[in-house]
Structure 1
Amino acid sequence: MPGQQHSPDLEVHQLGNGASWVAASMPEAPLTCLDFWCRAGSVSETPAQRGMAHFLEHMVFKGSPDLPAGAFDRAIEQLGGSSNAATGYDDVHYHVLVPPEQVPRALELLLDLVLHPSLEAEDFSMERRVVLEEIAQSNDQPEERVIQSLLTLCCPDHPYGRPILGDPEVLLAMTPEAMGAFHADRYRAGNCCLAVAGSLPAGLAGTIAGSALADLPCGGAAPPTASIRSLPRRSTLPVPRLESGRLLMAWHQPAAADLDGVVGGDLITSLLGEGRGSVLVHRLREELRLAESVDLDLNVMEAGSLALLEVAAPAGQLDAVEAAVGEAWQEQMDRGCDSGALARAGRMVANGLRFALETPTSVAAMAGSGLLWGRRQALDHPLSLIDGWTPDRLRSTLLPALDPAAATVLRAVPA
């Protein structure tokens, strides 16, 4: 058994307008993380809004009517803290990490910045140039081009197949007024939550009840995004400045709401492709010496997860690499997963979770994401699910979904 670990107890609260918040007490932590989450990722965008969610994240940090550009960062630094944000397919979140006695002021600053962005026309034009340059730099990176091409090939009719950064032509047509409408539509009580993790100050409930979170308009929760359905597709992509060939394969895996399935997905991808002792790394690098690197990762998302395999090898070896991947998978299907290899994968998955439970930032992220999407389990609950995945269960349930014949396959070769 991988072992048990006590995770911080979660206390969930709901305000009168429907916005929710969760507290995770970590008394020994020297700092406290405030993490604001919103269902306003790129899946929320219409065709005329592609890139709006990420662009809005940029504009939020240009300030509010009470916080001129740069004032938020300076204020958080004066409190002894730091801040960051990230936009994903499903959601966006903004967090600050501060000493516990500074939580009331940090919360006031964070909510003012996120909920009341100025969206000034001059800042809008300037920051749009920053985003367009970010897109150009991404398109100029061979590795990023390859991964995005795989996602587009795998999910051609789904938001997960589109770049989060957006489309330059669409971005050039955006206006501050359109962004303001997007913000007003998405940043509503039913779409937002707050997670607080670390050393919790006295009076936290009253502080949050009297904050701008309680003033958010009611409503939200747009219809769910359609589930992804990855179909077997193949393509070859010549890429300038790519140093070696790439074989990329993608498979559909359980969605984030299926926690047991996600744990199984973590186990099977770790068993097959994480570390020198994994099946594919050992076969492709140690035995056959075909590959320069092998990575197999589970990308967990709300509308369906993806297992993504990337093998770097000389372009002339890609046929042999793909054949070896198929042979390795067939051997696992024929004889089943080795119990020792599964135990090793279980330790890796469990230790990854244990490490995440050690810092307020990662605890707040897990608690906030879970609350936003209706997952109320204890943060260490996945540890109790690991032992439920036996070699036979993996072989019958998840291994068939990784059939190379069912994969989306992209071969990237140096142009």
Structure 2
Amino acid sequence: MAGLQTVALSVVAGRGARAEDEARSGWSHLLEHMVFKGAGGRSAREVVEVIEAEGGNINAATGYERTSFQVRALAGGLDLGSSVLSDLVQRPTMDAGDLNREKQVVGQEIAEAADAPDDLVFELAQTAAFDGQPLGRPILGTPQSIGTTTPQTLGAWRSHLYSPKTLVVSAAGAVDEDDLLRLAERDFGHTADDGVAPPLLGPAAFTGGQRAVAKPLEQANLVLLLPAVSVADEAYFALRLLAEILGGGMASRLFQEARENRGLAYAIDAYSETYADVGVLGVFAGCAAKDAVELAKVAAGEIAGMLKPAPEAELARAKAQLKGAMFMGREGALARAEQAAGQVLLFGRTLEPAEIAAQVDAVTPADLVRLTERILAPKKAAVAILGPKASLKAAPAFEQALFG
């Protein structure tokens, strides 16, 4: 990326919490924490200090389908960053004392999420959408499931999760391709392959259901999910545009109807979440408990309204907004490195911006209608309501308004 004085390096494993069975729930996230406790002969403090001493920073994230380790550094920091990330992924210390302490830390993270309504309501919705499946379990796991780990069992899980068969090394910014290839060969080219295949991702199925939890809050929190398409489906960009039209910004249908016309909510938006073989269309809103049922009905009405062709001007605005968001995101070095790694894991190659733009522009109003029909055909929804008791009736009201 010409003109940048910094570089971003991502080492991404194409596995995450979705690879876990129920007994190992949360192990992938705990493992991501544990590798920072010491690796390659460096202590936990030294792992961080050696990067920060050169003006950089280091971080990591665990998702359902991948785990990412990231270094941002000044130009010339790629060599050190690659060395440190290689140690984290391949040579963590796994000390028993550190593990016991980190279990306590993650236990507090789990408790913090339970105390945050806008975290908990999404967790409830995810559980309802994919009940009894890895996608329906929280990425953090439970105190019970992470409590069973030992350095040995977590080390064995690391060899599965961060298998060389799943790793992508990606860099963007002030980086030379030859340098990256040389460092990848030096730090990852001789990774031991013990022949153990990484965990397979079993097929996911949207089950649907309701999770209504009474809690003495000032607001009712609503998450409404419907089954959608996967990231690899030909209707992927239609899904992104459908969510944009419904609730992608201040000109969106949900914002205009629920907030501007009726004053039901301060914040309301729609979004899509896609995985390798399944996806969801979601709506999130916060409102007064007395308005929850009406808001749920409004959301159902706007979704059903997508069964009619969207006006060309509205679709054109959604396309412009979607391309703007995607291409603005690419202007950050770390975002571009992460995006490229994700594309390689999913498609085996990177996608050029012109190719993405062409696919967005090719979506027609008829495509959106067909996708809406697909989304509504199963007559399934996952609805999570968290708030005062008076708001809980919004869950059945949404399904009744949408499916009759």
TM-score normalised according to structure 2 size: 0.90
Q: 214-223 vs 344-353, which deviates more? A: 214-223
Partner residue of 1:283? 257
CA distance, structure 2, for counterparts of residue 66 and residue 125 of structure 1: 20
Q: 157-166 vs 27-36, which deviates more? A: 27-36
Q: 305-314 vs 157-166, which deviates more? A: 305-314
Partner residue of 1:27? 2
Pick aligned residue for 1:268 from 242, 259, 263: 242
Partner residue of 2:320? 347
CA contact (8 A) 1:53 1:87 kept: yes
**Stretches of structure 1 lacking an aligned partner (at least 5 in a row):** 1-25
2:67 aligned partner, one-letter code: V
2:191 aligned partner, one-letter code: D
Task: Confirm whether residue 252 of structure 1 aligns to residue 265 of structure 2.
Answer: no
Pick aligned residue for 1:239 from 215, 231, 239: 215
CA contact (8 A) 1:30 1:100 kept: yes
Deviations 1:107-153 (A, max 9, x none): 11221122111010111111111011111111111221211111111
CA distance, structure 1, for counterparts of residue 356 and residue 84 of structure 2: 34
Q: Alpha-carbon deviation of 1:256?
A: 1.8
Partner residue of 2:402? none
CA contact (8 A) 2:254 2:299 kept: yes
Pick aligned residue for 1:226 from 175, 198, 202: 202
Task: Confirm whether residue 144 of structure 1 aligns to residue 119 of structure 2.
Answer: yes
2:246 aligned partner, one-letter code: L
Q: Tell me, what secondary structure is at the counterpart of 1:298?
A: strand
Task: Confirm whether residue 46 of structure 1 aligns to residue 59 of structure 2.
Answer: no
Q: Tell me, what secondary structure is at the counterpart of 1:214?
A: coil
When residues 244 and 78 of structure 1 are mapped into structure 2, their CA distance, relative to the original with a 3 A threshold, is same
Q: Tell me, what secondary structure is at the counterpart of 2:323?
A: helix
With CA pairs under 8 Å and 6+ residues apart, which has the higher RCO, 1 or 2? 1
Partner residue of 1:383? 357
Pick aligned residue for 2:45 from 66, 70, 81: 70
Q: Which runs of 4+ in 1 moved over 6 A?
A: none
When residues 314 and 404 of structure 1 are mapped into structure 2, their CA distance, relative to the original with a 3 A threshold, is farther
Q: Alpha-carbon deviation of 1:177?
A: 0.9
TM-score normalised according to structure 1 size: 0.87
When residues 212 and 375 of structure 1 are mapped into structure 2, their CA distance, relative to the original with a 3 A threshold, is closer
CA contact (8 A) 1:332 1:395 kept: yes
CA distance, structure 1, for counterparts of residue 53 and residue 163 of structure 2: 30
Aligned residues: 387
2:86 aligned partner, one-letter code: L
Q: 290-299 vs 363-372, which deviates more? A: 290-299
CA contact (8 A) 1:41 1:90 kept: yes
Deviations 1:193-217 (A, max 9, x none): 2111122235432232222343231
Task: Confirm whether residue 118 of structure 1 aligns to residue 61 of structure 2.
Answer: no
CA distance, structure 1, for counterparts of residue 68 and residue 348 of structure 2: 17
**Stretches of structure 2 lacking an aligned partner (at least 5 in a row):** 390-404
Q: Tell me, what secondary structure is at the counterpart of 1:125?
A: helix
Pick aligned residue for 2:333 from 344, 348, 360: 360
Pick aligned residue for 2:160 from 185, 204, 210: 185
Deviations 1:1-44 (A, max 9, x none): xxxxxxxxxxxxxxxxxxxxxxxxx2322211110011331112
Task: Confirm whether residue 208 of structure 1 aligns to residue 184 of structure 2.
Answer: yes
State the identity %.
26
CA contact (8 A) 1:255 1:303 kept: yes
Q: Alpha-carbon deviation of 1:220?
A: 5.7
Partner residue of 1:292? 266
Q: Alpha-carbon deviation of 1:229?
A: 2.3
CA distance, structure 2, for counterparts of residue 329 and residue 203 of structure 1: 50
Q: Tell me, what secondary structure is at the counterpart of 1:196?
A: strand
CA distance, structure 2, for counterparts of residue 362 and residue 221 of structure 1: 29
CA contact (8 A) 1:188 1:219 kept: no
CA contact (8 A) 1:294 1:310 kept: yes
Q: Tell me, what secondary structure is at the counterpart of 2:340?
A: helix
Partner residue of 1:23? none
CA distance, structure 2, for counterparts of residue 194 and residue 309 of structure 1: 34
When residues 77 and 29 of structure 1 are mapped into structure 2, their CA distance, relative to the original with a 3 A threshold, is same
Q: Tell me, what secondary structure is at the counterpart of 2:44?
A: coil
Q: Give the structure with the larger helix fraction.
A: 2
